């Protein structure tokens, strides 16, 4: 297997992009990534795009061919593949791109993600997202996506003493980070009080515990590490790409407060990279809900099980702390265009490892980890990368 590097990255501003269609978002991000990588269309020999639900959100399937067309690559007939793993579609697209280059089948590959979510009403969007859960045995009985994470939160609080305030601290931190990120959907900071007084969605989770509905797209360009310097002075090397699966329904899990798919993927990734969790300088983790971040920093091995709330409360996950988590603002503040999120995490990591993250830069960042979850843990994708 060949070593693979990211040679360019681009991302649109995340948010309610009323004026822009899914196609506009793809064109915007594609141009940025290709310019950043100094790559011409002729060199590209593969395209993978993460998209969860074009069919529900914009009534468009066959996103692979569409993206190829929008990127101006249709006359070159570049093979283009859509991948889907609910909210982990972007992370999975990155992994497919990495595998294609690593195997030698492809040389220069674009891994992209896109979701246009605001063309439908809130109810339709909620139902489309609920399709990431088990339709027959969860949603049929009235489960929603926030409800599943709320049940994780309830048990985590009951078992480990995690407090309602600890959950709020995740939102406070990520909004602070998001306010330093020009592409972030939310530019405003929030306080613990504001989170605790926001309307209940699914007790104990409130509106400000939940990631928003977002439009956005993101892309990275991959090449073999040995050729990466041809394109850029600052390639970011992929040290590990790992994936884990678990039951679709939350109630069938071994432990409801642990995403075993994350644990599995993280263990594989660390062994592949030959690294320990403490050697990672920063991470982008899947905080679709505040409890998601607390569970993630435990499952990835940064903190012991049950200790994620305390770590957050003590500021260990803030920029300047022991391991800064979600410097981009995370899904919570930067926004969560589901298919694009996994690629945006890689985009943020590229900026951080190049030292281009501006006001949210983690000093001396060398090794970063990205963690993308589908549903409430049916799929987990972990990448480790370094400069």
Partner 1 sequence: MSTVPRFWRHIPQRYNLVGTHCPKCDEYYYPPRAICPNCRRAAKMEDYRFDGKGTVVTFTTIYNATDDFKRQTPYNLAIIELDEGPRLTGQVICTPEEIEIGMRVKPAFRILGKDGERGIIYYGTKFVPAEGSV
Nearest residue to 185 via CA among 370, 51, 65, 330? 330
Indicate the residue among 127 and 307 with the shorter CB distance to partner 1.
Answer: 127
Residue 255 is a binding residue for partner 1 (CB under 8 A) = no
Residues with Cβ within 8 Å of 239's Cβ and at least 6 positions away in sequence, in order, are 272, 273, 275, 367, 384, 385, 386
Total residues contacting partner 1 by CB under 8 A comes to 35
Indicate the residue among 76 and 124 with the shorter CB distance to partner 1.
Answer: 124
Beta bridge partners, 333, equal: none
User: In the set 205, 334, 340, 382, which binds partner 1 (CB under 8 A)?
Assistant: 205
User: In the set 89, 106, 184, 202, which binds partner 1 (CB under 8 A)?
Assistant: 202
Q: How far is the CB of 85 from partner 1 (least distance, A)?
A: 21
Residue 164, classified by CB atoms within 10 Å of its CB into exposed (0-12), middle (13-18) or buried (19+), is middle
User: In the set 65, 126, 192, 272, which binds partner 1 (CB under 8 A)?
Assistant: 126
Beta bridge partners, 10, equal: 219
Judge contact between 378 and 247, C-beta under 8 A: yes
Residue 161 is a binding residue for partner 1 (CB under 8 A) = no
Q: How far is the CB of 141 from partner 1 (least distance, A)?
A: 5
Which residues, 65 to 124, sit near partner 1 by CB under 8 A? Answer: 123-124
Report which secondary-structure segment, H or E, holds 330: helix 330-334
Indicate the residue among 28 and 134 with the shorter CB distance to partner 1.
Answer: 134
Q: Which stretch binds partner 1 (CB under 8 A): 28-36, 153-161, 278-286, 297-305?
A: 153-161
Could you tell me the two tokens for 66? 């569409």
Residue 249 is a binding residue for partner 1 (CB under 8 A) = yes
Report which secondary-structure segment, H or E, holds 47: strand 44-50
What angle (nearest 5°) sits at the alpha carbon of residue 88, between those of residues 87 and 89? Answer: 95
Active site residue 336: yes
Residue 154 is a binding residue for partner 1 (CB under 8 A) = yes
Residue 200 is a binding residue for partner 1 (CB under 8 A) = yes
Judge contact between 1 and 225, C-beta under 8 A: no
User: In the set 66, 70, 201, 333, which binds partner 1 (CB under 8 A)?
Assistant: 201
Helices 290-299, 260-273: crossing angle, 10 deg rounding: 50
Length of the chain: 387
156, 175, 286, 336: the catalytic one is 336
User: In the set 41, 103, 158, 161, which binds partner 1 (CB under 8 A)?
Assistant: 158
Q: Which residues bind partner 1 (CB under 8 A)?
A: 123-124, 126-127, 130, 135-144, 146-147, 150-152, 154-155, 158, 199-205, 249-252, 256
**Which residues are the active-site residues?**
87, 336
């Amino acid at each position: 297997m060949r070593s693979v590097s990211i040679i360019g990255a681009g991302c649109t501003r995340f948010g309610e992009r009323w004026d822009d269609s899914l196609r506009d978002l793809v064109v915007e991000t594609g141009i940025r990534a290709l310019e950043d990588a100094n790559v011409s269309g002729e060199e590209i020999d593969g395209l993978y795009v993460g998209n969860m639900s074009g069919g529900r959100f914009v009534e468009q399937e066959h996103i692979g061919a569409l993206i190829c067309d929008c990127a101006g690559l249709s006359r070159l007939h570049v093979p283009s593949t859509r991948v889907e793993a609910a909210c982990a579609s972007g992370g999975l697209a990155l992994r497919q791109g990495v595998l294609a280059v690593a195997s030698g089948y492809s040389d220069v590959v674009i891994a992209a993600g896109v979701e246009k979510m605001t063309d439908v009403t809130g109810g339709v969007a909620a139902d489309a997202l609920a399709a990431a859960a088990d339709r027959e045995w969860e949603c049929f009985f009235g489960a929603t996506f926030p409800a599943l994470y709320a049940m994780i939160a309830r048990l985590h609080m009951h078992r480990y003493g995690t407090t309602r305030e600890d959950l709020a601290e995740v939102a406070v931190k990520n909004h602070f980070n998001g306010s330093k990120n020009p592409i972030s959907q939310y530019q405003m900071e929030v306080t613990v009080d504001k989170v605790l007084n926001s309307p209940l969605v699914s007790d104990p989770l409130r509106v400000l515990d939940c990631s928003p509905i977002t439009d956005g797209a993101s892309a990275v360009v991959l090449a073999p590490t040995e050729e990466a310097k041809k394109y850029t002075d600052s390639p970011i090397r992929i040290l590990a790409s790992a994936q884990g699966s678990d039951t679709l329904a939350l109630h069938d899990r071994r432990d409801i407060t642990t995403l075993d798919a994350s644990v599995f993927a993280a263990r594989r990734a660390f062994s592949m990279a030959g690294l320990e969790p403490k050697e990672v300088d920063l991470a982008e983790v899947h905080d679709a809900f505040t409890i998601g971040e607390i569970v993630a920093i435990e499952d990835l091995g940064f903190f012991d099980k049950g200790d994620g709330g305390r770590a957050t409360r003590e500021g260990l996950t803030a920029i300047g702390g022991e391991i800064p988590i979600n410097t981009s603002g995370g899904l919570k503040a930067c926004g969560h265009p589901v298919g694009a999120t996994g690629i945006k995490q890689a985009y943020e990591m590229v900026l951080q490892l190049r030292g281009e993250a501006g006001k949210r830069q983690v000093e001396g960042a060398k090794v970063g980890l990205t963690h993308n979850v589908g549903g409430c843990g049916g799929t987990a994708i972990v990448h480790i990368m370094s400069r």
